[in-house]
Amino acid sequence: MNKFWLTISFLILNIRAFAQEEVEMADQFRGEGKIYVVVAVILIILFGIFFTLIRLDKKITRLEKEVRNKEKE
Amino acid sequence: MNLVFALIKKDYLIDFRQKYPIVGIALYIFATIYISYLSFGNLINPSTWNALLWIVLLFASVTGIAKGFIQEENSSLYYYFLTSPSQILIAKFLYNGLYQLLIVGLTFVLFSIFLGNPVENLPLFMLNFSIGALGMGAAFTLISAISSKTGNQSTMMALLGFPVVIPVLIMAVSNSRNIIFGAGLTDIMGNLLTLISIIVIIIALSFILFPYSRRN
Amino acid sequence: MNFLIRTNWWKWLTMFLLTYTVVGGLLFTVPRLPILNETIRNLHFHVPMWFGMIILFAFSVFHSVKYLSSKDLVQDLFSKELINVGVLFGILGIITGMIWANFTWGEPWSNDPKQNAAAVALLIYFAYMILRGSLSDDHQKARISAIYNIFAFAVLIPLLFILPRLTDSLHPGSGGNPGFNAYDLDSNLRLVFYPAVVGWTFLGSWIAGIMIRVSLYQFKKDSE
């Protein structure tokens, strides 16, 4: 267990050390606000998929009802 | 227990009376090793030697065990009414185990003759080699029971068996590599125990699942 | 797992969680780590594919066990469709993984234990599909494939644990790569990652649920 904590604390130290160096990130891209374009595009695609799934869901529910009604008759 | 021995004896008799299954496997091993010998000559390093050895063993055991349940399907079904599934499975395990040891011995001898022998710690190497082979035998036993139900037994055997046998193979191959490069028993103990526990899992699962494969 | 075809509330949860994943995953601040750089955000999209795959396969094994004890073909349908979606997640995971690996490790396939485990998992389930295709009788198909499903899953799980022990992993936490363990500290990543896993897994269940219901419909129609 001690070894585990030792590893963890070592990793923490590591991360700190990394954080102090300048790591290249897409800062400019974000700063210009272009990231919102990406978010918007992905969200629209995601909503499209959700919409299709909901429609499929409704459709199969309707079919199930038809089968159930037939069984009753 | 007597029934188990009777079943083993039956398998043995079928194989040795017809002769071609046993001779076929032996020839198969000889042919693969001889082709490796022809293509590699004497220029073979220990890593390649190790890999080749396991590949030959893998294919020999697939072909060897594949016929296990397949021959049951048509000729001796009446056995199934006299014995319980676990008895049949024990018999198959033992018989396949013996078969695997036979293949191990033959493969190793032929390999040493044709492709040399880089192993220094021979007893340990053979221990690991045999355990690996027995593990393969155990995994292939249930798979052969499954694939005997399909139309295309030998293909299905390889297709279903190879992914399942990978855990056993990975442990055993890395052990055998380490032994060739000078590892002792203490070095590989951890891996060896993992290997054995995987084999125990496989055998236990086979006992649970095998009865279902027969019921209709 | 009857909730897959009976209830609906978790579908709203799915939509909410995934929307949150996209927004949070792309906009929240993340730790600045070398090698990964900005691609650390893939954590919320690539990794949940694997979690989802394993969870869907586990559900499928559950139904295989249920089939063997009840001989109810409906259970077999559950099992089959869950595997279909699990394999879809696996393929997506392996492709996204290769793209990510190409950027961070310099090559798409680098003999990494987790990649190998993924490849074996896919091999097993492709074999499962071929096995199903090669059997014609419905009950025999269900029985034999249930046996193989349980057997293969039980062999796959130890593999996921032993592979990383044998070769050095390039995945975070080893081999000089910054570790995900350390993210336990970074609440920003955790805040998105756990909901992302739940969201993607639910999305898989949703698709599987629809496919199961379609199969059930066909099944009922055929048996009329």
Tokens of residue C222, six digits: 């055929």
pLDDT tier at A1 (50, 70, 90 boundaries)? very low
Lowest mean pLDDT among B61-65, B162-166, B180-184: B180-184
Tell me: the pLDDT tens digits for C20-53?
A: 999 988 888 777 777 777 788 888 898 899 899 9
pLDDT value for C92: 94
Tell me: the pLDDT tens digits for C135-181?
A: 888 888 999 999 999 999 998 888 887 777 666 555 655 544 555 55
pLDDT value for B111: 87
As a whole number of angstroms, the distance between CA B32 and CA B54 comes to: 12
Closest chain C residue to the Cα of B209, Cα to Cα: C147
As a whole number of angstroms, the distance between CA A57 and CA B125 comes to: 59
Q: What are phi and psi of C185, to 5 degrees?
A: -85, -30
Number of domains, chain C: 1
pLDDT value for B215: 61
Mutate to test the interface with B, among C124, C148, C163 (most CBs of B within 10 A): C148
Helix, strand or coil, per DSSP, at residue B142: helix
Domain ranges of chain A: 2-72
Q: Do C166 and B216 touch (CB under 8 A)?
A: no
B148 in Cβ contact with B72 (< 8 Å): yes
Range(s) of the domain holding residue B202? 2-214
Mutate to test the interface with C, among A63, A68, A70 (most CBs of C within 10 A): A63
Mutate to test the interface with C, among B143, B150, B200 (most CBs of C within 10 A): B150
Q: CB of C207 within 8 Å of any CB in chain A?
A: yes
- What's the average model confidence in pLDDT over C129-135? 91
Radius of gyration of chain A (CA): 26
CB-based contacts of B58, cutoff 8 Å, min separation 6 = B136, B162, B165, B169
Q: Which string of b and e fits C137-175 if b means at least 16 CB within 10 Å? A: eeeebbbbbbbbbbbbbbbbebbbebbbebeebbbbbee
Does residue B151 surpass a pLDDT of 80? no
Mean pLDDT rounded to a whole number for chain C: 84
pLDDT value for C44: 86
> Chain B residues with CB inside 8 Å of C127's CB?
159-160, 163
Helix, strand or coil, per DSSP, at residue A73: coil
Tell me: the pLDDT tens digits for A31-56?
A: 788 888 889 999 999 999 999 999 99
pLDDT value for C183: 46
pLDDT tier at C184 (50, 70, 90 boundaries)? very low
pLDDT value for C176: 45
Closest chain C residue to the Cα of A63, Cα to Cα: C217
C67 in Cβ contact with C142 (< 8 Å): yes
Question: What's C175's DSSP letter?
Answer: T
Q: Do C26 and A38 touch (CB under 8 A)?
A: yes
CB pairs < 8 Å spanning B and C: 80
Q: Do chains B and C touch (3 or more CB pairs under 8 A)?
A: yes
Q: pTM higher than 0.95 for the full model?
A: no
Tokens 């893998």 appear where? B58
The interface predicted TM-score of the complex, written ipTM, equals 0.86
Of the candidates A27, B124, B202, which has an alpha carbon nearest to the alpha carbon of residue C32?
A27
Range(s) of the domain holding residue C156? 3-223
> Chain B residues with CB inside 8 Å of C139's CB?
216
Number of domains, chain B: 1
> In angstroms, what CA-CA distances link C170 with A9, A38, B40, B80, C41?
21, 29, 34, 51, 18
Does residue B214 surpass a pLDDT of 90? no
Count CB neighbours of B183 within 10 A: 18
- What's the average model confidence in pLDDT over A5-21? 50
Tell me: the pLDDT tens digits for B74-107?
A: 555 566 667 788 888 888 899 889 889 999 999 9
Lowest mean pLDDT among B123-137, C66-80, C94-108: C94-108
- What's the average model confidence in pLDDT over C10-23? 91
C35-41 long-range contacts, CB within 8 A, separation 24+:
C35/C104, C35/C177, C35/C178, C36/C104, C36/C172, C36/C177, C36/C178, C37/A23, C37/A24, C37/A25, C38/A25, C38/A26, C39/C100, C39/C103, C39/C104, C40/C189
Mean pLDDT rounded to a whole number for chain B: 84
Q: Do A25 and C32 touch (CB under 8 A)?
A: yes
Q: CB of C119 within 8 Å of any CB in chain B?
A: no
Count CB neighbours of B78 within 10 A: 7
B29 in Cβ contact with B61 (< 8 Å): no
Q: CB of A35 within 8 Å of any CB in chain C?
A: yes
> Chain A residues with CB inside 8 Å of C220's CB?
67
- What's the average model confidence in pLDDT over B178-193? 84
Q: CB of C34 within 8 Å of any CB in chain B?
A: no
As a whole number of angstroms, the distance between CA B176 and CA B174 comes to: 5
Q: Do A38 and C34 touch (CB under 8 A)?
A: no
C150 in Cβ contact with C64 (< 8 Å): yes
